[in-house]
Structure 1
Amino acid sequence: MSTAAAEGGTPADGAENAYRPSARRLAREAHRRRRSRRSALIAAVSTAVTALALYLLVVNSPGWQRTRETFFNAAYARQALPEVLRGLRINLELMTVCGALILVLGLVLALLRTLRGPVFLPVRLLVTAYVDFFLGLPMIICLLVMITGVPALRLTGVTTDPLLLGGAALVLTYSAYVSEVFRAGIQSVHPSQRAAARSLGLTGAQTMRHVVLPQAVRRVVPPLLNNLVSLQKDTGLVSIGGVIDAVYAAKIITAQTFNYTPYLVSALVFIVLTVPLTRFTDWVTARTDGRRQQGGAV
């Protein structure tokens, strides 16, 4: 039996007593819809006009014809694409392997730097010196030193493969950046969390593992993803050692044809890989900020 019938009314009476928005609210919602449509239309027109202006500016420039032949040649693009994609496998392998090593080494460095007590002072000083050194050292110099300097030492059992040495340079440099991200996350956890965990009988290591690190890692996911995006692009720098990745494959074709279209093909391939990861990073950041504003676990 319906509520309206139980109270002696009819279903029609219940329908008549149902909530109906006021005329003022309907007018306000209609105004918002009109304003949204107007804003979308203005944005679309503004974007189209800007794009058209830029297009006309480029195609009407004096050197456009020569630039199009040199940088936007479809024939050379078709020739370069298979070679660039073949070399891209090296970049993806570097990003995957180096990314995993960077996360592990960066977390270890952050934990060592946050050790407490005077007995750990030498460890903290060494880690701080390592982080400061590689934060200040340009990536290109680190790669050159590793790829050309290590083989010159002629150390027994040490590889001279430029791919491995370039990957080592990426790990050394990026682990310094990632360690600072992890350290910031660890320090962002309120001291009361540690105090509460210790009051429950957890040791310092157990507190770090079960209480501090889970919160710290969740908070630093967005900046870690940004570092992964940068790593994906910087894997192309190993080409300075002769590794035939996507960038070096484009360089070989350019040297043979004296046409720079292969470089643009390589750039577009990296952009296609980077944009989805960047948008995913933005989504994770917005989701994390929203949960933090709502007072939820971050």
Structure 2
Amino acid sequence: MTVRDEAAPPEAYRPSARRIERERYRRARTRRSFAIAAVSTAVTAFALYELIVSSPGWQRTRETFFSAHYARLAFPKVMEGLWLNLRLLAVCGAVVLVAGLLMAMLRTLRGPVFFPVRALATAYVDFFRGLPLIICILISVFGIPALRLSGVTNDPVLLGGFALCLTYTAYVAEVFRAGIESVHPSQRAAARSLGLSGARTMRYVVLPQAVRRVVPALLNDLVSLQKDTGLVSIGGAVDAVYAAQIIASRSFNYTPYVVSGLIFVAITVPMTRFTDWVAARMNRRQSQGGVV
């Protein structure tokens, strides 16, 4: 027998002429779409600019809301107040996630013996989802100290954060409950058939799937919480909004409010884009048959 020569390396892949033409067409269509989008955006921006600048009250509006002098004056103070908003977001966000998950689990308890617990949890969620947040903060900041209870703080930051936790726990509880109920009952049945208890089934089977499914909705609630931390200023807490209000009340110029709003937008937009990215990633995994 003759010894076979060493196998030659496989020939490199060469796309067909039709494939090359298809890819060339796609690139051309992408460039055309990008050019059209850029031109339409520029035309729209120019039209809006001309509409605003040519309005009769633009000069006065620019001096009152877009003053560079008052923007430089307000920026350091607003940034100092923003540190309070960020701390509230971190603490309240952690409390809301834990309390919301606990409330959702209480609402999904099964069996007639747990009916009082389910009823109380449902009443809590319905009440605080319907109560406006600003009213909840006003009641907490001004109503709780009026009771003069021993050992109860009158710090507007703590009381405002307490009101934020009360309201957002109700919203997050509904998000978690939707995720828990979206898990197919066969998952529970399979876990119980393997000998897992109800608690272990919830911990190891239901909750991992439920939490993954509601991550985008939870991130949206955290974005809303980040914005609503500015409402604690109505109780006297010096956050970014109240710092802007102090400067505006002295100068009768509202540029500090614009500075405060733009800072909140600068924080919120990356969080929103991250939420969109997570949602799109989960949708792609679901469409490909991956774990959701």
| TM-score bracket for this pair, using the shorter chain length | over 0.9
Q: What are the equivalent positions in structure 2 for 1:119-158 lying under 5 Å apart? A: 119-158=113-152
Task: Tell me the alpha carbon deviations over residues 37-77 of structure 1, each in whole angstroms, 9 at most, x when there is no partner.
Answer: 11111111010110011111111110000000000000000
Residue 68 (structure 1) aligned to one of 54, 62, 84: 62
Equivalent position to 2:217, from 198, 217, 223? 223
How far, CA to CA, are the matches of 2:86 and 2:19 in structure 1?
A: 54
Moved more, 285-294 or 249-258: 285-294
Q: 2:177 aligns with which of 154, 174, 183?
A: 183
List alignment gaps of at least 5 residues for structure 1: none
1:44 aligns with 2:60: no
Gaps (5+ residues) in structure 2? none
Matched letter for residue 42 of structure 1: I
Q: Are 2:274 and 1:280 equivalent residues in the alignment?
A: yes
Match 2:47 to one of 25, 45, 53: 53
Residue of structure 2 aligned with 1:115, choices 109, 112, 115: 109
How many Å apart are 1:5 and its aligned residue? 6.0
| Cα shift at 1:28 | 2.3
Q: CA RMSD in A?
A: 1.4
Letter in 2 for 1:98: C
1:238-285 Cα distance to aligned partner (Å, 9 max, x none): 000010000000000000000000000000110111111111111111
Shift of 1:184: 0.4
**Which TM-score applies when normalising by structure 2?**
0.96
Tell me how far 1:35 sits from its aligned partner.
Answer: 1.4
Give the Cα–Cα distance (whole angstroms) in 1 for the partners of residues 202 and 25 of structure 2: 53
Letter paired with 2:212: R
1:86 maps to a residue whose letter is E
Which AA in structure 1 matches 2:17?
Answer: A
State the AA in 1 paired with 2:117.
V
- Following superposition of structure 1 onto structure 2, how do residues 86-105 of structure 1 map, counting pairs within 5 Å? 86-105=80-99
Task: Tell me the distance in 1 between the aligned counterparts of 2:83 and 2:18.
Answer: 61
Q: Match of 1:278, as an amino acid?
A: T
Q: Tell me what 1:202 maps to.
A: 196
In the alignment, structure 1 residue 241 sits paired with structure 2 residue 241: no
**Residue in structure 2 matched with residue 162 of structure 1 by the alignment:** 156
Which residue number corresponds to residue 213 of structure 1?
207
State the identity %: 72
Secondary structure of the 1:259 match is coil
For 1:203 and 1:143, locate their aligned partners in 2 and report how far apart those are by CA, in whole Å. 41
1:296 deviates by 1.0
TM-score, with structure 1 as normaliser: 0.94
Distance 1:219 1:20 in 2: 42
CA offsets per residue over residues 65-95 of structure 1, 9 Å max, x none?
0000000000000000000000001101110
Letter in 2 for 1:279: R
Displacement of 1:19: 4.4
Give 1:23 shift: 2.7
Counterparts of 2:232 and 2:162, CA distance in 1: 10
